[in-house]
Structure 1
Amino acid sequence: MTSRVIQWATGGVGRAAIEHVVRHPDLELVGCWVHGPEKSGLDAGELAGMPAPLGVTATNDVAEILATDADCVLYAPLLPNADEVAAILRSGKNVVTPVGWFWTKDPALAAAAIEGGVSLHGTGIDPGGVTDHHPLFFAGLSSAVTFVRGEEYSDIRTYGAPDVVRYFMGFGGSPEEARSGSLLKLLSGGFEQSVQMCLDGLGFAETEIRRSHEIAVATGPIEGPAGTIRPGEVAAQRFAWEAFVGSDKVVRVAVNWFMGDENLDPPWTFGPAGERYEVEVHGDPGCSVVISGWTSSDVESGLRRNPGVVATAAHCVNSIPYVCAAAPGFVTFLDLPVVTGRAHPRLGR
Structure 2
Amino acid sequence: RAIQRRPNLDLVGVWVHSADKDGRDAGELAGGDPIGVAATTDADALIALKPDCVIYAASGPERDALAIPDYAKLLEAGINVVTTSTTRLVNPHAYTPTEWRDQLVAAAKQGQVSLYASGIEPGFAADYLPLVLCTQSKSIRSITVSEVALNDHYPVADVMMDGMGFGRPLDFEPMLKTPGFIEMAWKASLCLIASGLGVEIEEVRGTLDRELTDRDIEVAFGTIPAGTCGAVRTRAAGVVNGREAIVVEHVIRMARDVA
**TM-score in same-fold range (> 0.5):** yes
Aligned to 1:227: 223
Q: TM-score, normalised by structure 2?
A: 0.84
Q: Which residue of 1 aligns with 2:27?
A: 45
Aligned with 1:157: secondary structure? coil
Are residue 260 (structure 1) and residue 255 (structure 2) matched? Answer: yes
Could you list the per-position Cα deviations for residues 143-164 of structure 1 after superposition, in whole angstroms to 9, with x for gaps in the alignment?
5444333222111222223343
Stretches of structure 1 that go unaligned for 5 or more consecutive residues are: 1-18, 269-349
Distance of aligned partners of 1:141 and 1:112 in 2 relative to their CA distance in 1, 3 Å threshold? farther
Residues 206 and 223 from structure 1, CA distance in 2 versus in 1: closer, same or farther, beyond 3 angstroms? Answer: closer
RMSD over aligned Cα, in angstroms?
2.1
Say if 1:99 and 1:190, in contact at 8 Å, map to a contact too.
no
| 1:221–1:57 Cα change, 3 Å | closer
Q: Could you tell me how far apart the structure 1 residues matched to 2:7 and 2:198 are? A: 38
User: Would you say the 8 A contact 1:241–1:254 is kept in 2?
Assistant: yes
1:233-248 paired onto structure 2 within 5 Å? 233-248=228-243
Partner of 1:123: 118
Does residue 1:96 correspond to 2:82, yes or no?
yes
Q: 1:113 to 1:152 in 2, by over 3 A?
A: same
What is the total number of aligned residue pairs between the two structures?
Answer: 242
Name the amino acid aligned to 1:68: L
TM alignment of 1:18-97, pairs within 5 A: 19-51=1-33, 53-78=34-59, 79-80=63-64, 81=66, 82-97=68-83
Q: Which residue of structure 2 lines up, in the alignment, with residue 274 of structure 1? A: none
Are residues 1:108 and 2:108 paired? no
Q: Deviations over 1:13-55 (max 9, x none)?
A: xxxxxx111112332212111113332222221221223x323
| Counterpart-to-counterpart distance in 2, 1:248 and 1:26 | 49
Q: d(CA) in 2 for partners of 1:190 and 1:110?
A: 21
Cα separation, 2, equivalents of 1:128 and 1:65 = 27
Question: For the Cα contact (< 8 Å) 2:149–2:253, is it kept in 1?
Answer: yes
Q: Percent identity?
A: 31
Which stretch of the first structure deviates more once superposed, 157-166 or 105-114? 157-166
Match in the other structure for 2:195: 200
Cα offsets for 1:189-233 (capped at 9, x unmatched): 3321111221223221342211111111123333333313212x2
Question: What TM-score comes out, normalization by structure 1 length?
Answer: 0.64
Q: Which amino acid aligns with 1:223?
A: E
Q: Evaluate the alpha carbon distance shift between residue 73 and residue 211 of structure 1 in structure 2; reply closer, same or farther with a 3 A threshold.
A: same
Q: Measure, in 2, the Cα distance between the counterparts of 1:190 and 1:116.
A: 28
The answer (yes or no) to whether the contact 1:172–1:228 under 8 Å persists in 2 is yes
8 Å Cα contact 1:149-1:253 kept in structure 2: yes
Shift of 1:68: 2.0
> CA 1:26/1:249 → structure 2, altered by over 3 Å: closer, same or farther?
farther
Higher RCO structure, 1 or 2 (CA under 8 Å, sep 6+): 1
SS at match of 2:126: coil
* Match of residue 13 from structure 1: none
